[in-house]
Amino acid sequence: MGEDLMGRKNLLADLLDDKLTAVNEPLSGEPSDNRRPSQPTLGSRGAVGAMSRSLEMLSAERDAAKALTEQLSTGQAVVEIDPGLIDASIVPDRMTGVNEKHAALVESIRTNGQLVPILLRPHPTSPGRFQIAYGHRRVRALAELGHPARAVVRDLSDEDLVVAQGKENGEREDLSFIERASYGAALEDRGFKREIIMAALSVDKTELSRLISVCRALPRSLIDAIGPAPKTGRRRWMELAERMAGRHDQKSLADAMASDRFVRATSDDRFAIVFAALAPRKSKTPRPTTWADDDGKKIVKIERRADRVTLALDEKAAPAFGDFVISRLPELYRSFREGRTDD
């Protein structure tokens, strides 16, 4: 429609040029010099009529331009806007930093142009500027290419903006799980009601609770370091949150994130590195010990585990000692319990 408006202006200019030329040219039978007859003639009346028709056409074109302006104000037309005048949404939904598809998007727009318009609203606090409802990646690519952004501009409330933002991303290219979780948490932090957040993400109350709980369970710095992880789904992120809970020793995680391997990895591979670093540690089983008598003869082998202690009596080293210990178990146990009571 930006091109349509320019076309209307060009058409109007051509029309006026033609009509004014016809007025200034002499009619058949009129003097060809600049002298004018003292009384109106048929030729002069024709010139007046031509001028009148030109003014009518001008008025019609002005009405059409006014109608087009009204279309722009209601967001029914596509206009071109300098990306330098466009600011991010009040709550960006896509994660910054790792963007493995940016180069492909730039090349696509360079080759084919911007096929799908973005949605903007007039900036609520900065006159002359605009705010994105959706199309952040396209604006970034267009700015890099030095191209104007083709956009629809509408007056949107904050609630309208975030709902439109979420709906468009859901229909065109789904956000990753953690981007959706981060977006939901950010909207909640901005004071949006759960009903608005549910509409923006197209989820029910249960799924929204899962999204936000996972985001709250993980440090923001960790989520940003991993990035969007587009191939990593809800179950894996929930497992990561469970692994993160109760972990006081974060050295293994810090070492993993500081490694060159982590820095060079894709977003999904970064998730895998963090997931492995937070794996439950296997408790080390103590090596067996032995108890020896006063002569140094090894009589009992002792094995300790988390849930049991095993005594293995060597019948060759101390024949019948095992039966003796078994016979004394009731006495030993009573003595043990009495000792605990006294404590």
Give the mean pLDDT of the chain. 77
CA distance 49 to 54: 9
**pLDDT computed for residue 175 by the predictor:** 77
Strand boundaries in the chain, DSSP class E: 78-81, 86-87, 118-122, 130-134, 149-153, 289-292, 298-304, 309-313
pLDDT digits (tens, 9 = 90+) for 120-138: 999 999 999 999 998 888 9
Q: Dump the DSSP string for 78-96.
A: EEEE-GGGEE--SS--SPS
Domain match, 149 and 227 both: yes
Residues of the domain holding 128: 78-246
In Å, how far are 28, 41, 55 from 47, measured between CA atoms? Answer: 12, 10, 12
Q: Identify whether residues 220 and 131 lie together within a single domain.
A: yes
Residue 9 confidence (pLDDT) above 50: no
Residue 134 lies in a domain: yes
Residue 100, φ and ψ in degrees, nearest 5: -75, -10
**What is the C-alpha to C-alpha distance for residues 31 and 19, in angstroms, rounded to an integer?**
20
Q: Write out pLDDT tens, residues 195-209.
A: 999 988 888 999 999
Residue 163 pLDDT greater than 50, yes or no: yes
In this prediction, what percent of the chain has a pLDDT beyond 70? 71
Return the closest-CA partner of residue 151 out of 127, 178, 126, 123.
123
User: Percentage of the chain surpassing pLDDT 90?
Assistant: 38
Q: Looking at per-residue confidence, does 14 or 303 come out higher?
A: 303
Does residue 193 form part of some domain?
A: yes
Residue range 277-306: average pLDDT? 81
Same domain flag for 206 and 323: no
Of 218, 246, 274, the last residue of a domain is 246
The per-residue pLDDT for 6 is 44
Quote the pLDDT of residue 296: 81
Q: What is the CATH number of the domain that holds 189?
A: 3.90.1530.10
Which token pair is 131?
């705010």
* Residues 233 and 87 occupy one common structural domain: yes
- The count of structural domains within the chain is 2
CB neighbour burial string for 227-258, b if at least 16 within 10 angstroms, e if fewer: bbbbebeeebbeebbebbeeeeeeeebeebbe
Residue 150 lies in a domain: yes
For residues 91 and 162, is the Cβ–Cβ distance under 8 A? yes
What pLDDT, in 10s, does the model give residues 82-109? 999 999 988 877 776 545 578 888 999 9
